[in-house]
Structure 1
Amino acid sequence: MLPISFEFYPPKTDEQREQFDRSVRKLKAYAPEFMSVTFGAGGSTLGQTPETVQRLRQQHALDGVPHLTCVGGSREEILALLARYRALGCTRIVALRGDLPSGMARSGDLRHASELVQLIREEHGEHFHIEVAAYPEVHPQAPDAQVDLRHFKAKVEAGASGAITQYFYNADAYFRFVEDAKRAGVDIPIVPGIMPIANYAQLRRFSEACGAEIPRWIDRRMRAFGDDGAAIREFAADVVAALCRRLLDGGAPGLHFYTLNLARPVQAVLQRLE
């Protein structure tokens, strides 16, 4: 069976929790390896992330996996969260640097994701399978691809078990990144992150912020559909499913879907893959 996983963000209201539960129930049918839960900038979802992980594990009987960021948090706060997650039964962590929210001046005790990975290994040994981030189209704050690759390798050398990439729509960028990583001595699995297209205007905003490139031909086709929602959904699912097929045919070890807490766009892609 194809190894897949899903990412959710923590719901904050009753309405969002109902939406979250509906989406989880629908996507659970695809037997995901795990479902991860994001951690807001500077720990802005400090309470909701552990609660959501617990909800996945206890209410839905799924492997709920927390994201953990180090920017904005103290060493003691990070260690307390790790202890909490271990007590919940978590054996996997997505370890990220994270970003400071606007107006927050305190950067925390750890500055880089590699330091967070090292801390987890020092305190918990091999208990946690540690996923880190990878950027096939280069991290937006990196000066160039070589520097970005060195930062990625540092996370691996600190003890990362695997990596999940930022989303992209250019398969060649992924394959080139994996090849460059192998040449640099990186041998952990690098799973491509997949963003189904639900709201194109929103996707364009996300992409501008995180440095993910939307190919010109996709952008032009999307704009040409105008307000034809059905045509947009069909085209979007076809494009993303074709990307997934090429990645899997090329040796990708699995797929990690960024759901934005929505099931339908992910289902449309997976139905085409089936």
Structure 2
Amino acid sequence: MAYIDPGRRFRLTGHSDIAVSFEFFPPKTEKMEQTLWNSIERLAPLEPNFVSVTYGAGGSTRERTHATVSRIVKETNLKPAAHLTCVDATCAEVDEVVQGYWDAGVRHIVALRGDPAAGVGEKYIPHPGGYQSTADLIASIKRIGDFEVSVSAYPEKHPESPSWDVEMDVLKAKVDAGATRAITQFFFRNEDYLRYVERVRAAGIEIPIVPGIVPVTSFKGISSFAAKTGASVPDWLARRFEGLDDDPKMRELVAAAVAAEQVMDLVDHGVSDFHFYTMNKADLVYAICHMLGLRESEAAPEPVATA
């Protein structure tokens, strides 16, 4: 049975109670910043439940993440969720970041253990003076402010988890510490997600498990990332993108169709909330939402200020 998270809803042709959220990453250059804000402006009228902003490996984008979420608070009606990790930082340093988010008006944090500065797939070693786990991080976040806290979930099991029992124990510890929602790593086989939700419910965990959906803008890129995170790339997906390496327009069309097909199947299984990894590319995600029947609200948010 799908858990329906309360929040804003949208009209979906033939269905009801569909909600979306979008993930962005902080820009590195002035040109990338313009692309990001163009994407936010494009997607804002869909009134997502929230928009999240990532936090680089080893906390490498800390200042840029803070600047981005602060600007979203000041210049839009969107509700930002700031990613936060406990990698390569002391407890005091992390707490300072959390307090800074609260002071900036941010009320939602995506709490993650995080990847080492060396990148995804490298061995995680807790900072000797830092938080040792995501659950520890969440407990501190909740002490500092009444934040909504989202966490990660892994339909195919985290690469470092020795068993499903351990996987469930880790998620339960996050919930016990104060997590209110889990967002999954991307996946392409819906049966993996559905089985995962069954495991979670059987373990007595009742928070929403929101599927993370990634449009495949680069099959080579997503395959490489999947190999590091333990996500499977099925043969049928490879065949969909076969021969399209030098045809970006066709890749976008195929990517939109594949993602829409995946989400529509999940809707048919009773899933109502979706989190899109946008890669800061609005048009593709907007097209997918349109195919799902989502339409701009009549009372759309105020335009994003770009000056």
Q: TM-score range by the shorter chain?
A: over 0.9
**Which residue does 2:98 correspond to in 1?**
82
Q: TM-score, normalised by structure 2?
A: 0.84
Q: Name which of 149, 153, 156 aligns with 2:172.
A: 153
**Which residue does 1:119 correspond to in 2?**
140
Q: Does the Cα contact within 8 Å between 1:67 and 1:95 map onto a contact in 2?
A: yes
Find the aligned partners of 1:45 and 1:151 in 2 and give their Cα distance: 26
| 1:132 counterpart SS class | strand
- Runs of 4+ in structure 1 deviating by more than 4 angstroms, as ranges, are 103-106
Q: TM-score, normalised by structure 1?
A: 0.94
Partner amino acid for 2:235? R
Equivalences, count? 272
Percent identical among aligned pairs is 39
Q: Does the Cα contact within 8 Å between 1:71 and 1:111 map onto a contact in 2?
A: no
Shift of 1:106: 6.7
The question of 1:194 aligning with 2:213 is answered yes
Q: Does the Cα contact within 8 Å between 1:190 and 1:252 map onto a contact in 2?
A: no
Q: Does the Cα contact within 8 Å between 2:98 and 2:144 map onto a contact in 1?
A: no
Q: Name which of 11, 14, 27 aligns with 2:43.
A: 27
Q: Compared with structure 1, are the counterparts of its residues 213 and 21 closer, same or farther at alpha carbon in structure 2 (3 Å cutoff)? A: same
The question of 1:246 aligning with 2:262 is answered no
Find the aligned partners of 1:24 and 1:206 in 2 and give their Cα distance: 25
Matches within 5 A, 1:30-69: 30-69=46-85
Find the aligned partners of 1:156 and 1:40 in 2 and give their Cα distance: 24
Q: Which runs of 5+ in 2 are unaligned?
A: 1-9, 11-17, 294-307
Q: Name which of 281, 284, 291 aligns with 1:262.
A: 281
Pick the structure with more helix per residue.
1
Residues 231-240 or 18-27, more deviating:
231-240
Q: Which runs of 5+ in 1 are unaligned?
A: none
**Which residue does 2:225 correspond to in 1?**
206
Q: CA RMSD in A?
A: 1.8
Find the aligned partners of 1:225 and 1:54 in 2 and give their Cα distance: 39
**Which residue does 1:219 correspond to in 2?**
238
Q: Compared with structure 1, are the counterparts of its residues 121 and 226 closer, same or farther at alpha carbon in structure 2 (3 Å cutoff)? A: closer
Residues 199-208 or 3-12, more deviating:
199-208
Find the aligned partners of 2:171 and 2:74 in 1 and give their Cα distance: 34
Shift of 1:225: 4.2
Deviation track 1:182-222 (CA, whole Å, cap 9, x = no partner) reads: 11010001110010111222111221121211111111231
